[in-house]
Amino acid sequence: MKELLRINGLKKYFPITSGILSRVSNYVKAVDGIDLAIGRGETVGLVGESGCGKTTLGKTIIKLHEPTGGEIIFEERDITNLSTSGMRPVRKRMQIVFQDPYGSLNPRMKVEDIVSEGLVIHGVSSNAERREAVRETMRTVGLREDALARYPHEFSGGQRQRIAIARAIALRPDFIVCDEPISALDVSVQAQIINLFIELQERFGLTYLFISHDLRVVKHISDRVAVMYLGKIIELAASRELYENPLHPYTKILISSVPVADPTRKREAAVLKGDVPSPIDPPGGCAFHPRCPIAVEKCSREEPALRDAGGGHMVACHLV
Amino acid sequence: MDSALEIRDLRISFSARGKKLEVVSGVSLTVPKGKIIGVVGESGCGKTVTALSVMRLIPEPPGSIDSGEVIFDDGNLLEYSERDMRAVRGNRISMIFQEPISSLNPVFTVGDQIGEALRTHLKISKREERQRVVELLKLVGIPAPERRMKNYPHEMSGGMSQRVMIAMALACSPEVLIADEPTTALDVTIQAGILELIDDLRVKMGMAVLLITHDLGIVAEVAHKVYVMYAGKVVEDAATKDLFADPKHPYTVGLLHSIPDLRDSKEKLDAIPGVVPSPGDFPPGCRFQDRCPLVIDKCRAEEPPLAEHAPGHLSACWRADDVELKV
């Protein structure tokens, strides 16, 4: 598979200011040195608890946040320090779909204007061509053409998410960050939207970074899955491999926590102690050690590196 | 079996723009003592409104309870005066909500808020109250309770806040706990702990639990019996293991197929087409007809009654015996 995107040591720190002079007193290390390569046409799932930095990573990759450090290589080109205007041609090729379809669509814009806005900004074609392109996009995401003249509030959550997806694919991008795109939807509608993502990928050869806290959905849609904990990737493996053979103690607990819709299978629920520690002042050594059931003394001293445990299964744990 | 709470033929409607819309259309369900009963359905199916009506928390107007009974302790809660109801609410029947953070009052410490339930319902001294609050926080697994009780809600995480909500709900050892999506806003790792806690407390305190959720996985794990709701009605009612092994309503099958399993991958899911009809737009006949793969003419003409298709297994479907779960 050809590589589409690569990040090296990507960091995003948010300053915390205090006092009347707003002096920077500390940083929230939301993304703290992440390496990841995504192949063309691949779906990489990103899971982790709330506050682990998955959304920040998604937004930093497409430069909706300015990275604090590291580099972003898109199609073998370093885009880390591109200016806003320098980014524009690249932007067209990377899009994002947000979690909340109620908040991400401008309520004062008609659907047609929402979907065609990108085409207008990037100066794609004449009015007539643009109108046809928008209609084609609407059909692709399973919406009727008469939806174009209506406003977002007239649609249900699932249909709004289709509009958001239409907006994202209108410019025929290569890469889409899907940030919890189905979490706000009903179960029966979730399945429809997951199917739509899979269809679009087959049809346009899209590459996804699929962020979700729902491990079942991520498993279903992803080729590879990365597990994040406090701003770092702690395990990364092919989807099936990760779920069948998780190596990191945190991943094991995450997977065993997922409820299974089968009352005859009693799962061994490993319950995680405590909460995610604050990313302002993460624990030293391995950030997971205070909650880890198998931690040894070394874990509090030395941070484990992400290394290959065989067959491309990457894990950051001293005890694997 | 002794029932702790029984809802009989409940009908609730809301008025909007001069129109009266029925959102709960004849729901009956029974919560036996010491058991966990799951109510499953998507948004708008009436599960939360049903629960709120038990607590008499439906704003009237615009809401109105048109008919039905809620039997608790040989009385009908719907006929209680507000004063009598206050003695039940938070004392003998408690409720926890989906959003722990917005359910807590930001300007009082959590100790104060848990203590409020105790002060309201029990005549106890300040010292006893403090002691009891510490015990409750310990019971729900909050470390360092003496210190934590002095915290304000914003100083706690989502999981901790939900534990505080549960502690508050349990303050007066209720006979019935209504939990409305208690773990939806929480991470899976925290979710497992909260579900385990609710089940532990049920065993220890002999409490009956009405658990409302959209997640069939959660139901499979903790509920003894399940009611599936769709568009304001109960469409299936069965023991948990029967529901999952041999569902008898096409909607239940659709829900089961909509959840990706940890075992398979990247195939298309069998999604239920279309969307839930809104109140006011319910078609005549079966309300699921437009999304149903098994629909026949009869479904459009006549509403199927909730009838027994196997011992203790009820389904409201004309074709209940043709419903099959794909493996």
Domain residue limits, chain B = 3-230, 244-327
Residue A138 lies in a domain: no
| CA angle at B300 for the pair B294 and B301, rounded to the nearest 5° | 135
| Mean pLDDT calculated for residue range A79-105 | 90
Q: What percent of chain A has pLDDT over 90?
A: 60
Specify the range with the lowest mean pLDDT, choosing from A121-130, A273-282, B122-131, B213-222.
A273-282
Residue A286 lies in a domain: yes
pLDDT for residue B43: 81
| CA angle at B31 for the pair B139 and B118, rounded to the nearest 5° | 35
Cis peptide before A293 (omega within 30 of 0): no
pLDDT for residue A16: 84
pLDDT for residue B173: 84
pLDDT for residue A268: 64
State how far residue A129 is from chain B, nearest Cα, in angstroms. Answer: 31
B188, A254: Cβ pair inside 8 Å? yes
pLDDT higher at A266 or A10: A10
| Mean pLDDT calculated for residue range B60-88 | 90
Phi first, then psi: what are they for B168, rounded to 5°?
Answer: -65, -45
Task: Note whether B224 contacts A: Cβ–Cβ < 8 A.
Answer: no
Task: Tell me the C-alpha distance between B161 and A106, whole Å.
Answer: 33
A264, B266: Cβ pair inside 8 Å? no
Model confidence band, residue B108 (pLDDT cutoffs 50, 70, 90): very high
Q: Which residues of A touch B196 (CB under 8 A)?
A: 269, 271
pLDDT for residue B100: 79
B157, A186: Cβ pair inside 8 Å? no
Task: Tell me the C-alpha distance between A310 and B161, whole Å.
Answer: 41
A188, B255: Cβ pair inside 8 Å? yes
Model confidence band, residue A314 (pLDDT cutoffs 50, 70, 90): very high
pLDDT for residue B243: 94
Model confidence band, residue B279 (pLDDT cutoffs 50, 70, 90): confident
Residue A119 lies in a domain: no
pLDDT for residue A156: 83
Specify the range with the lowest mean pLDDT, choosing from A52-61, A199-208, A257-266, B230-239.
A257-266
Model confidence band, residue B1 (pLDDT cutoffs 50, 70, 90): low
pLDDT higher at A7 or A280: A7
| Mean pLDDT calculated for residue range A214-241 | 93
Is residue A159 within 8 Å of residue A139, measured between CB atoms?
A: no
Task: Tell me the C-alpha distance between A243 and A108, whole Å.
Answer: 44
B258, A188: Cβ pair inside 8 Å? yes
| Mean pLDDT calculated for residue range B174-202 | 85
| Mean pLDDT calculated for residue range A123-136 | 85
| Mean pLDDT calculated for residue range A22-43 | 91
Q: Which residues of A touch B217 (CB under 8 A)?
A: 216, 258-261
Model confidence band, residue B324 (pLDDT cutoffs 50, 70, 90): confident
B221, A156: Cβ pair inside 8 Å? no
B187, A267: Cβ pair inside 8 Å? no
Range of the domain at A238: 3-93+171-315
Whether B265 shows a pLDDT value over 60: the answer reads: no
Residue A78 lies in a domain: yes
Whether A311 shows a pLDDT value over 80: the answer reads: yes
pLDDT for residue B240: 95
Model confidence band, residue B266 (pLDDT cutoffs 50, 70, 90): low
pLDDT higher at A257 or A124: A257
Residue A117 lies in a domain: no
pLDDT for residue B155: 84
Whether B190 shows a pLDDT value over 80: the answer reads: no
Number of folded domains that form chain A = 1
Q: Which residue of A has its CA nearest to B183?
A: A259
Residue A300 lies in a domain: yes
Residue in B156, B182, B157 with CA at minimum distance from that of residue B169: B182
State how far residue A83 is from chain B, nearest Cα, in angstroms. Answer: 37
State how far residue B45 is from chain A, nearest Cα, in angstroms. Answer: 11
Q: Which residues of A touch B246 (CB under 8 A)?
A: none
Interface list for B 167-206 with A (CB within 8 A): 187-193, 195-196
Residue in A172, A224, A294 with CA at minimum distance from that of residue A37: A224
Residue A187 lies in a domain: yes
Q: What's the whole-number average pLDDT of chain B?
A: 88
Q: Which residues of B touch A223 (CB under 8 A)?
A: 266
pLDDT for residue B227: 96
Interface list for A 202-231 with B (CB within 8 A): 213, 215-217, 219-223
Specify the range with the lowest mean pLDDT, choosing from A1-5, A257-261, B37-41.
A257-261
Model confidence band, residue A266 (pLDDT cutoffs 50, 70, 90): low
pLDDT higher at A22 or A203: A203
Task: Note whether B21 contacts A: Cβ–Cβ < 8 A.
Answer: no
pLDDT higher at B255 or B101: B255
A261, B261: Cβ pair inside 8 Å? yes
| Mean pLDDT calculated for residue range B154-164 | 83
| Mean pLDDT calculated for residue range B279-301 | 91
Tally A–B CB contacts below 8 A.
Answer: 141
Specify the range with the lowest mean pLDDT, choosing from A180-184, B69-73, B185-189.
B185-189
Q: Which residues of B touch A276 (CB under 8 A)?
A: 157
List Cβ neighbours of A48 (8 Å cut-off, separation of 6 or more): A54, A213, A227, A228, A229
Three-state SS string over chain B comes to CCEEEEEEEEEEEEEECCEEEEEEEEEEEEEECCCEEEEECCCCCCHHHHHHHHCCCCCCCCEEEEEEEEEECCEEHHHCCHHHHHHHECCCEEEECCCHHHHCCCCCCHHHHHHHHHHHHCCCCHHHHHHHHHHHHHHCCCCCHHHHCCCCHHHCCHHHHHHHHHHHHHCCCCCEEEEECCCCCCCHHHHHHHHHHHHHHHHHHCCEEEEEECCHHHHHHHCCEEEEEECCEEEEEEEHHHHHHCCCCHHHHHHHHHCCCCCCCCCCCCCCCCCCCCCCCCCCCCCCHHHCCCCCHHHHHCCCCCEEEECCEEECCCCHHHCCCCC
Residue in A286, A237, A215, A221 with CA at minimum distance from that of residue B267: A221
Q: Which CATH superfamily is domain B3-230 in?
A: P-loop containing nucleotide triphosphate hydrolases (3.40.50.300)
| Mean pLDDT calculated for residue range B295-322 | 93
Whether A191 shows a pLDDT value over 60: the answer reads: yes
pLDDT for residue A267: 63
Structure-token pair, residue B124: 């106890």
pLDDT for residue A211: 94
Whether B75 shows a pLDDT value over 80: the answer reads: yes
pLDDT for residue A269: 61
Is the interface score ipTM higher than 0.90? no
Q: Which residues of B touch A219 (CB under 8 A)?
A: 260, 262, 265
Q: What's the whole-number average pLDDT of chain A?
A: 90
| Mean pLDDT calculated for residue range B242-267 | 84
DSSP per-residue letters across A226-258: EEEETTEEEEEEEHHHHHHS--SHHHHHHHHHS
pLDDT for residue B20: 87
Is residue A233 within 8 Å of residue A316, measured between CB atoms?
A: yes
Phi first, then psi: what are they for A71, rounded to 5°?
Answer: -135, 155
pLDDT for residue A68: 94
Q: Which residues of A touch B271 (CB under 8 A)?
A: 188-189, 191-192, 194-195
Residue in B212, B220, B274, B263 with CA at minimum distance from that of residue A188: B274
Whether A9 shows a pLDDT value over 90: the answer reads: yes
Phi first, then psi: what are they for A170, rounded to 5°?
Answer: -55, -35
Residue A237 lies in a domain: yes
Whether B109 shows a pLDDT value over 90: the answer reads: yes
Model confidence band, residue A167 (pLDDT cutoffs 50, 70, 90): very high
Q: Which residue of A has its CA nearest to B273?
A: A192
Q: Which residues of A touch B195 (CB under 8 A)?
A: 259
Q: Which residue of B has its CA nearest to A52?
A: B187
CATH number of the domain that residue A214 is part of: 3.40.50.300
Structure-token pair, residue B288: 């699921």
| Mean pLDDT calculated for residue range B71-98 | 90
A239, B265: Cβ pair inside 8 Å? yes
| Mean pLDDT calculated for residue range A227-237 | 95
B262, A215: Cβ pair inside 8 Å? yes
